[in-house]
Amino acid sequence: MRMEKRKQNKLAYKKRTQWFFIAIASLFILLLLGYGVVLLGGKIIANDEDLILDLKTTIRTEEGDVIGTLYKENREFIDVDSLPEHVKEAFIAIEDRRFYEHQGIDLKSITRAVYRDIIAMSKVEGGSTITQQLAKNLFLSNDKTWSRKIKETMAALYLERELSKDEILELYVNEVYFGQGIYGIQTASKYFFSKPADELTVAEGAMLAGLMKGPNGYSPINHPDRALERRNVVLRSMEDAGFISTEQRVTEEEKTLGLDVEEPKASNPWVDSYIDLVMKEASEKHQLSLEALQTGGYDITVYMDPEIQQIAYSEMRNDAYFPGNTEGVEGAFVMLDANNARIVSVIGGRDYQIGDLNRTVVDRQPGSTFKPIAVYGPALMQEDVYTPFTLIPDKKSEEYNVVNANGEYKDEITIYQAIMESTNTSAVWLLDEIGIDYSKGYLEKLGITFEDDGLSIALGGLTYGVTPLKMAQSYQAFASGGDITSATSISSIENRNEEVIYESKIETENVFTSQVAWNMTEMLSGTVQSGTASSGDFNKALAGKTGSTQHTTVDGATKDAWFVGYTPEYVTAMWMGYDTTDKDHYLTGGSSYPTSLTKKILTEIDRQTEREMSSDFEIPENVEPLPEPIELPTISDISANYEFGGFSIIRGNLNWNGSTDERVVYRIYQETDGEDKLIDEVKGVTQYTIDNVWFENNKYYVVPYDPNTRMEGMKSDSVTFSW
């Protein structure tokens, strides 16, 4: 019996021993698994993409003036190696004195925090290291829960394995929030002290480090006394940590906060149109989305001229230039460098704000401003067929229903006159002659494509229209001697590592010969001086063309009004109209308004800036200028006399009154029963001799002829020879 009991006790002891070892083993396994989860779980919590901090994008002029920033978080990055040691020590002293000793978590600090949490029966104190704070800021929320704390620990251990201490500190000082909408020590230093972070003093660095406890509660702007007290706490911590001496601490504590707060930047609505255009170009040409621009830390240099931009913005707000039947008349203005199509000014609307409709890139029907690029420029490229003085019809046609705006017709007109007077009938006839496909080929070279294929193209009658920016770019081909350059606002783009990822290069394509481009410049200059574009005042060189479109529902009203032109320095395009066109929204004036306003802007640029405008266009080499127009005389006095002389025995002399212009050609005709016979022509003289003339009754007359226009004047009276 006793043996049996001993046996049972031994068996029970053995089972207890087995369960003990099983429990110990299970606990070890659980601890091992827990350690593995904590050690490796950080990889799951941490997203490596979050290690790339959001940085603001800066947009600046070529002179270095910042005109705008784009960001979600206002942050500018600085390398930790660039920071003074005393600045790094300030953060370490107050936030994590054992930063360089622990592996992401500080057990002593955690034990103290846990004890106080238990006493308070809630999560009241953090024991977070700099690494843990960084992990929380990058990957987690601000909830004060045990779950978040565990995840924070896991992520901190992961960061310590993946990054060096300096890399962790660099991320930390660049990531943290300093209040006032400011992220990162570089941005904070520039805001509070108007200096980069590498120039911070001991006291200044201590003040910024003190903001980590509560950037709003210790704001040196809103609570300077509390900020000063907190700064001194940081200085004492630096002393305790051995970073500064007692003497240094006392010296620094005696200093004021020494703020030199960056003045709030005044709202600059005059740049908003340009910034929006830059964002559009960055997206379409360089694949930089708005998200990328707001977080990528790019530095974009642009071609905007601030002085010109402000002048254009100011003048575009003048209601006197915008004739509408009601409020809301809009406008768009763009200016390019004539030599390289760099965009120096953009006004997308009269009261433009970031994100508004940028009308410089909105299609509108261009009206007669389309004629030079769709009809006359391409036609003159057929130099053996058309010249500026070639006569073309100016009359109504049974084949198409086109009328001139003024209701007047000359039957025939030179191309030069057709451009100056903007005759619709001539433009449509000429487009029909050269061919629509031929015209569209040139327009495509100019960057303009569309599906329309009717003769209304000659008058700018397009389904969707053309943007002011493209119209300016097209006229740049005339201004630059026949070559076109793609318009651009961006000079260069640097990434966050200061690496140039884009740099603008001038690439041109030839569209027109230099002769055609110069002839167009001369004719468009004439249009400004005495043609349809003569409204307004500008006493320097200017070539250009007006355009307007009829309102579809209101008789006599205008839907779109244009002027596109250029000086030797700049190319401009201006549009006026309503965003929505209906019976209640129409212009009460035409193209004279954008023409006058453009000239006003050019005048102010010439007057207010050092960019003096040229008085004349400079003729290129190897180009022939257009001759002055020839005025054909009326021959009112003609005589025909016989005389003896030479071997001809009898000859006849014709004499008549003519012009002092020696370019006039005189054609001598003999009347016949059928078609009169052209027997000869002379140039610049008013006398002609016919040899071997015997007594006859033939009749002769003289007709003045213009070799440029190939047009004859009125014939003289008919005469017969007599003694």
pLDDT value at position 435? 97
pLDDT at 239 over 90: yes
pLDDT at 652 over 70: yes
pTM of the model: 0.83
Residues in the chain: 723
pLDDT value at position 1? 55
Q: Tell me how many degrees the CA angle 680-685-687 measures, rounded to the nearest 5.
A: 65
Q: Which amino acid is at 344?
A: V
Work out the number of other CB atoms within 10 angstroms of the CB of residue 97: 19
Contact by Cβ (8 Å): 294, 70: yes
The answer to whether 330 is a known catalytic residue is: no
Mean pLDDT, range 52-77, rounded to an integer: 94
Q: Using one digit for the tens of pLDDT, what is the confidence trace for 292-312?
A: 999 999 999 999 999 999 999
Lowest mean per-residue pLDDT among 161-165, 415-419, 473-477: 161-165
Is residue 198 packed enough to be buried (19+ CB in 10 Å), middle (13-18) or exposed (0-12)? middle
3-state SS string for 505-571:
CCCEEECCCHHHHHHHHHHHHHHHHHCCCCCCCCCCCCEEEEEEEECCCCCCCEEEEEEEEECCCEE
Domain ranges for the chain, please list them: 2-45, 76-253, 314-608, 638-712
Contact by Cβ (8 Å): 422, 408: no
The answer to whether 109 is a known catalytic residue is: no
User: Of the residues 95, 152, 175, 421, which is catalytic?
Assistant: 95
pLDDT value at position 21? 66
Mean pLDDT, range 168-197, rounded to an integer: 94
Of the pLDDT bands very low, low, confident and very high (cuts 50, 70, 90), residue 133 is confident
Positions of E strands within 141-249:
177-179, 182-183
pLDDT at 148 over 50: yes
Q: Using one digit for the tens of pLDDT, what is the confidence trace for 532-582?
A: 999 999 999 999 999 999 998 898 899 999 999 999 999 999 999 999 888
The domain made up of 76-253 is a member of CATH 3.40.50.2000? no
CA 692 to CA 652: how far, in whole Å?
8
Average pLDDT, rounded, for the chain? 89
CA 332 to CA 313: how far, in whole Å?
10
pLDDT value at position 28? 60
Place of tokens 């033939």: 698
User: Of the residues 368, 525, 548, 591, which is catalytic?
Assistant: 368
Residues in a beta bridge with 456: none
Domain 314-608: CATH superfamily, name plus number = DD-peptidase/beta-lactamase superfamily (3.40.710.10)
Q: Using one digit for the tens of pLDDT, what is the confidence trace for 426-469?
A: 999 999 999 999 999 999 999 999 999 999 999 999 999 999 99
pLDDT at 30 over 90: no
Q: What is the CA radius of gyration of the chain?
A: 42
C-alpha dist (Å) from residue 453 to 435, 437, 458, 460: 10, 8, 10, 12
CA 375 to CA 387: how far, in whole Å?
13
The domain made up of 638-712 is a member of CATH 1.20.120? no
CA 300 to CA 293: how far, in whole Å?
10
Of the pLDDT bands very low, low, confident and very high (cuts 50, 70, 90), residue 140 is low
pLDDT value at position 710? 76
Lowest mean per-residue pLDDT among 90-104, 169-183, 189-203, 644-658: 644-658
The upper half-sphere exposure of residue 83, i.e. CA atoms within 13 Å in the direction of its Cβ, equals 27
pLDDT value at position 708? 82
Mean pLDDT, range 409-425, rounded to an integer: 94
Q: Using one digit for the tens of pLDDT, what is the confidence trace for 688-714?
A: 998 877 667 889 999 999 888 777 899
pLDDT value at position 145? 62
Lowest mean per-residue pLDDT among 110-114, 230-234, 515-519: 110-114
Cβ partners under 8 Å of residue 623, min gap 6: 514, 515, 518
Of the pLDDT bands very low, low, confident and very high (cuts 50, 70, 90), residue 125 is very low
Residues in a beta bridge with 564: 545, 573
Q: Kindly list the strands in the beta sheet with 558-566, ordered across the sheet, starting from the edge strand earlier in the chain.
A: 343-347, 330-337, 570-577, 558-566, 543-550
Q: Which residues of 38-66 are buried (b: 16+ CB within 10 A; e: fewer)?
A: beebbeebbeeeebebbbbbbbbbeeeee
Is residue 298 packed enough to be buried (19+ CB in 10 Å), middle (13-18) or exposed (0-12)? buried
Contact by Cβ (8 Å): 121, 90: no
